[in-house]
Structure 1
Amino acid sequence: MFDPLYDELVTNTSELIVFFTRHFFIELVLPLSIFTAVMLTLFVDWSWIPISSVEKGEGDTLEDLKKNYMNDF
């Protein structure tokens, strides 16, 4: 079997196991973990983290960023 991602031939069982393990993590686990991290960042309520009034006045809140992002679409 030829592995086009790594440009190598898979000729025995151990190489086949490595092939499936690589593709499992690269094509399934990595994208799902990135997607989960982005969704947690956008949809979790982060207001429980205590910040000072000076820090609050320095920039946009997460709520403002979410509203601006959702209004763009």
Structure 2
Amino acid sequence: MNWWPFGSLDQLDTAITAAGRTLYAAHRPLLQRAEALLADPGFDPEEYADRMESRTNGLLITAGTEA
């Protein structure tokens, strides 16, 4: 597994291509949504996580959190 910086979708695509790999077209809409969400100055990661947890009936598993 490889990790690349995600400052923008274009930056990510360039880094992946330079490594001789391909960014899957099916992943682009999800990555575009993440990019827009992270760019929103009103975005609150904790509130978002709480919302996602409530939508999954508490089944959302997050690494590195304490119970």
Higher helix share: 1
Between the two structures, name the one with larger relative contact order (CA 8 Å, sep ≥ 6): 2
| TM-score over 0.5 for the pair | no
Instruction: Choose 1 or 2 for highest CA Rg.
Output: 1
Higher strand share: 1
> TM-score normalised to the size of structure 1?
0.26
